[in-house]
Amino acid sequence: MKLKFKHVALIGKYQSVASSASNASGANPRTALEAVAHFLEDQGCDVSVEFDTARNMGIADYPLVSVAQIGKQCDLGLVVGGDGTMLGIGRQMAPYGVPLIGINQGRLGFITDVPYHGFASSLGQMLRGAYVEDHRSLMNARVIRDGHCVYKAMAMNDVVVNRGASAGMVELRVEVDGHFVANQRADGLIIATPTGSTAYSLSSGGPLLHPSIPGWVMVPIAPHTLSNRPIVLANTSRIAIEIVAGRDASASFDMQSLASLMHGDRIEVTRSEHHVRFLHPKGWSYFDTLREKLHWNEGVAST
């Protein structure tokens, strides 16, 4: 079958290269990325490597490309790493619409779901069009201080407001579409996308949201009032979180953080116009991923 993706950009988990340690897949990150690159060349693909990946891994055998160049020149982005690596590149690639495949070298693999061991079988078929396409929504977030935007970011997983290092809780005023919801005293508050519903939101008692649901989940972290429960909202909502009380509160947007929020600061969350395009192996199912990663049915005899 004819190749559907001719020019492929490789993005790797280069942060762990310095230790030269093997990760959950058992392979050094550079060794794994080079193995994937050689496979792509054997399939007839033109291979480029993302600039920071190549620089930090010491790879000099392939053309280097920036994120913007991947968006404009490449047919496919291929991430060799874990979910954190995919989150970072997914946010950057979303405005360009370039599809992404994740080869998992991490521990979880909710969104990097092609196992490194045996990747050739799945990847060879996907390069020729045998895949399932999955679109994931994104959030835009801004921090407003004295009427001015002092920070803005995009998030694929979640926007989280956390209390500071002190023992006290943080008090937050929450509005949805301009309507007052509640003043919440808690360790923090999470606004999560369906993708992020399997991350921090889940560990804080939030529900799982199927990726096709156009919604978000708002989850309090250790709330003072036990009736303060998670709530699912439409992703067309405009959510505002104001810091009322508490010291050294911070906000994080996936892996991006802003420390030392001030009283009166407002974190505004809206739906992004962009989404991330993930490609999965043929036959992929979200429920298979949940069952495997969350260890459902362990100890239960198959029927």
Q: Which of 83, 134, 158, 265 is catalytic?
A: 83
What are the phi and psi torsion angles at 47 (to 5°)? -110, 130
User: What does the alpha-carbon distance between residue 49 and residue 213 come to, in Å, rounded to a whole number?
Assistant: 34
Q: How far apart are CA 106 and CA 101, in angstroms?
A: 14
Question: How are beta strands 100-104 and 76-81 bridged, if at all?
Answer: parallel
Token pair in block for residue 198:
């399997």
- Using left for φ > 0, alpha for ψ between -120 and 50, and beta otherwise, residue 299 falls in left
Q: Whole-angstrom Cα distance, residue 17 to residue 179?
A: 48
Write phi, then psi, for 98 (nearest 5 degrees): -75, 130
Report whether 191 contacts 270 (CB < 8 A): no
Could you count the other beta carbons within 10 Å of the beta carbon of residue 140? 17
Identity at 142, one-letter amino acid code? R
Q: What is the identity of the amino acid at 286?
A: Y
Of 11, 63, 55, 2, the residue nearest 33 (C-alpha): 11
What CA–CA distance (Å, rounded) separates 101 from 41? Answer: 17
83 is catalytic: yes
Tell me which DSSP letter residue 26 carries: S
How many other C-beta atoms can be found within 10 angstroms of the C-beta atom of residue 265? 20
Residue with token string 């508490």: 246
* Catalytic positions, written as ranges: 83
